[in-house]
Amino acid sequence: MGRLTDAMTRLRGEVDASHNMRVAFIDDLKANVTEMQSGFRNNHAEMAGKMRGDLVTFVSGLENSVAEMKTGFNKNHAEMARNLRDALEDFVSDLKGDVSEMKDGFNEDHAEMARNLRDALEDFVSNLKSDVSEMKDGFNKDHAEMARNLRDALEDFVSNLKSDVSEMKDGFNKDHAEMARNLRDALEDFVSDLKSDVSEMKDGFNEDHAEMARNLRDALGTFASGLKNTVGGMRKEFADDIAGARQAWSGPLPAEPRVIVETRAQAVDVEPLATEEEAEAEAESLEEEETRTAEEIIPDDFTLITGIGSVRQTQLNKAGYYTFAQLAQSTPEKLQDILGESARSAIVENWIEDAMDFAK
C-alpha cells in the first residue's frame, strides 16, 4: 500500500472510533437520564407516602382526643345531675321528717292540754256548776281561735316552703341551662378553631408541594437546556470534523493515483463514506432523539387528588394525561368518557379544580 492509502485507512479508523465513542457517549447519557428520572419518582413517592402517613396519624389522634373529651363531659354531667338529684331528695326527706315531727308534737301537746283541762274541769265541777256553762263557752271560743291561728300558721309555713322549693328549682334549672349553653359554645369554638387549623395545614401542604414541584420542574428544565446546548455543540463540532474529513477524502487528486486508490479500496472492501445528505439526515435524527430524551415528560402523582387512585391514574396515563397541567385543561365530559361507568358517581369537576391548584 502507498502512503496515501495508509493515511486514508488510518483516518477511516479514527472516524469509526469517533463514531463508536459518540454512540457510547449517547447511550451512557440516556442511561444516566433514565436513572435520574427513576430516582426522582422513587423519592417523590416515598415523600408523598410519608406525608400522607403523618397526616393520617394526626387526624386519628385528634379524633381520639375529641372522643375522650366528649366521654368525660357526659360522665361529669351525669355525675353532677345525680349529686343534685340526691341532694334534693335528701332535702325533701328531711323536710317531710321535720313536718311529721312538728305534727306529732302538736298532737301530743294538744292531747296533753286537753287531758289537763278535762282533769281540772272534773276537779272543779262540783264547786263550779254555775260557771261551767260560761267556762265551756269561753274554752270553746279560745280553742277555736287557737285552732284557727295554728291552721293559719301552718298554711303560711307550707306556702313559704312551696315558694322556697319553687325558687330553688327555678334557680337550679337556670344554672343548669346556662352551664349547658357555655359548654356548647366552648365546644363549638373548639371545633371551629380545629377546622381552621386543619384547613391552614392543608393549604400550607398544598403550597409547599406545588412550590417543590415547580422548583424540581425548573431545575430539570435548566438541566435539559444545558444538556441540549452541550450535545448541540458536540454534534456541530463532530459534523465539522466529518465535513473536513469528507472534503479531504473526496478532494481533487491526479487521475492515476485516484484510480489506484479506488481499485485498492475495492480490493480491501473499504466501505465508502456516507453522502452529505445522509450525514445531515442522520444528525437531524440524532438531534430529535436527544431532544425527546431531554424533554421527556415527568408524570405527576394524580393520587394526591381526592377520588383518584392508582387504577384511575393508570387509565388517565393511557389516555395521554401525565401532568396536572394537562388534567386541568380537560373537561368533565372527556374524563367521564375515558374512565367509563366508574366515573359516573365521581365529582370530576373537583379533580380539574384540584389539578389547577397543583399546577400553579
pTM over 0.85: no
Share of the chain above pLDDT 90, in %: 24
pLDDT at 252: 46
Q: Write a three-state SS string for 61-93.
A: HHHHHHHHHHHHHHHHHHHHHHHHHHHHHHHHH
> What pLDDT sits at residue 208?
61
Distance CA 289, CA 242 (A): 20
Q: Are 293 and 36 in contact (CB under 8 A)?
A: no
- Whole-number pLDDT of residue 330: 93
User: Across all residues in the chain, what is the average pLDDT?
Assistant: 78
CA distance linking residue 261 with residue 270, whole number of Å? 11
Asked if pLDDT for residue 139 goes beyond 70, the answer is: yes
Given a cut of 80, is residue 243 above it in pLDDT?
no
Q: How far apart are CA 168 and CA 230, in angstroms?
A: 92
Interval 264-283: pLDDT, tens: 333 334 344 445 566 566 55
Q: Which three cell numbers stand for residue 44?
A: 417523590
Report which of 230, 288, 223, 234 is spatially closest to residue 36, judged by C-alpha positions. Answer: 223
Give the pLDDT confidence of 245-260 residue by residue, as tens digits. Answer: 656 665 544 443 343 3
d(CA 308, CA 299): 15
Residue 162 has pLDDT above 70, yes or no: yes
The full set of domains in the chain, from first to last, is: 3-298 (no CATH), 299-360 (1.10.150.20)
